[in-house]
Structure 1
Amino acid sequence: MKIKFCGIRRPEDVAYMNEFRPDYVGFVFAGTKRRVTPEKAAALARLLDAGIRKVGVFVDEPPENIARAVKLAGLNVVQLHGSETAQGIERLRTLLPEAEIWKAVRVENSGSIPHALGLGADLLLLDSFSVTEQGGTGKTADLNLIRKANLSSPFFLAGGLNSGNIGPIVREFSPYGVDISSGIETGGVKDRRKIEQIMRILRKESGKAVG
């Protein structure tokens, strides 16, 4: 199972990532509370272990702007969190043929996941729905709707995951990966102790040792 920690914005965060080595880290280029500029992401990326893949989180950003950020920060994955279309995703593939494209799904109703499956992204990331925010709310995704979708393709699971609930959730859903942001924070900043707790739980679930 893949592990992604999102909302990296300080050198201290990068140090934690290099210590615990998740598979992916996410830089947020939208919203306010975790937002970084492409230039800031590039500076942080230079401090990051080369074996950790870098994800950029975007919300309804023009494809040309996304391409600029990807190239500047050396991102491997584009994660789309807005109302992006199949045409927009195809345009991104033209601009960024080497990058993976993930589509985040704010699971609101039974049609949310089937609609996203038709957009042509490489992978879906299933997140909680909020009227006011596009992601990173700390609210648990609607697990009943995800159960009913009965997805056969690999997906990431996000939305309110923390050390208190992640074990049973990953055992039930067997996601390809998990994406955690608020669940490894205290007072709005990344917390080393919480990162260590999450890593121990997930490595145990996948039969690996932490270290």
Structure 2
Amino acid sequence: MFIKVCGLKTKEQIDKAIEYGYDAIGVVTYPKSKRYCDPKDAIELANYAKGRIKTFVVGMTAEDVKEAADFFDYTQIYEVIQVPNLALSSKEPPPKDLNYDYFFYDASIGSGVFEEFPDWVKEIACEIILSGGLNKDNICAVIRDLKPFGIDISSGVEKEGVKDIEMMREFITIARNCQ
């Protein structure tokens, strides 16, 4: 299973994501996010992680990520627009005429609030990365019920709005061992 941790802001967090076995990291350049990372700092983090783990620059629109996108492996946005290496995030089914590398289902639109998954998600779960309100307490039920291609965690591994290294370790250990 593909597991991404999003909202990273430090090299130490990247090192721990790699050490713990995450498949990818996300760095947010959406200015209104509490996980916002200045594009200059985001580029530094992308260069630091390059070749060691898959990297996603994350924003609401292509405009949010434009300064840093070329330095990341993938561009994760909520805007339905064709960009290179697109990782589309949406609470709607993916458009059939859009080329994307990954599709993230996120009903919370980045707010981290968990919602039940609509039937269409269940029908294509093997192609989807689920996000939005996941945490150590609900992840096994989600994995068992939907059997998704992947999962994306952010607020579920934070204390007081900051990534917590121990919570990152605990989450991936639980997620990798769900049966």
| TM-score of Structure 1 vs Structure 2, range by shorter chain | 0.7 to 0.9
Task: Indicate if the aligned counterparts of 1:54 and 1:75 stay in contact, CA closer than 8 A.
Answer: yes
Measure how far apart 1:43 and its partner are: 1.6
Which runs of structure 2 are paired with 1:29-108 in the superposition (5 Å)?
A: 29-30=29-30, 31-48=32-49, 50-62=51-63, 66-71=65-70, 74-81=71-78, 84-85=79-80, 88-89=81-82, 92=83, 96=84, 100-106=85-91
How do residues 1-211 of structure 1 correspond to structure 2 at under 5 angstroms?
A: 1-30=1-30, 31-48=32-49, 50-62=51-63, 66-71=65-70, 74-81=71-78, 84-85=79-80, 88-89=81-82, 92=83, 96=84, 100-106=85-91, 112-113=92-93, 116-120=94-98, 121-129=100-108, 134-135=109-110, 137-143=111-117, 145-146=118-119, 150-151=123-124, 154-205=127-178
Stretches of structure 2 that go unaligned for 5 or more consecutive residues are none
Flag the 1:24–1:49 CA change in 2: closer, same or farther, 3 A: same
Contact map agreement 1:28 1:35 (CA 8 A) in 2: yes
TM-score by length of 2: 0.87
1:151 CA drift (Å): 1.8
Measured in 1, the distance between the counterparts of 2:33 and 2:176 equals 32
User: C-alpha separation between the residues in 2 aligned to 1:117 and 1:123?
Assistant: 13
Q: Is the 8 A contact 2:90 2:104 kept in 1?
A: yes
Correspondence for 1:209: none
Shift of 1:171: 1.2
Separation in 1, partners of 2:89, 2:59 = 10
Aligned length: 177
Question: Which 5+ residue runs of structure 1 have no aligned equivalent?
Answer: 107-111, 207-211
User: Counterpart of 2:17 in 1: which secondary structure?
Assistant: helix
Letter matched to residue 70 of structure 1: A
Give the distance between the partners of 2:20 and 2:36, measured in 1 at CA: 23
Partner deviation per Cα, 1:165-199 (whole Å, 9 max, x = no partner)? 10111111111110000001111111111111111
State the alpha-carbon separation in 1 of the partners of residues 125 and 175 from structure 2: 22
Cα deviation for residue 147 of structure 1 reads: 5.5
1 or 2 for the larger relative contact order (CA 8 Å, sep ≥6)? 2
User: What are the Cα deviations for residues 141-163 of structure 1, in whole angstroms up to 9, with x where unaligned?
Assistant: 332x1467622660100011111
Report if the CA contact (8 A) 1:18-1:49 is conserved.
Answer: no
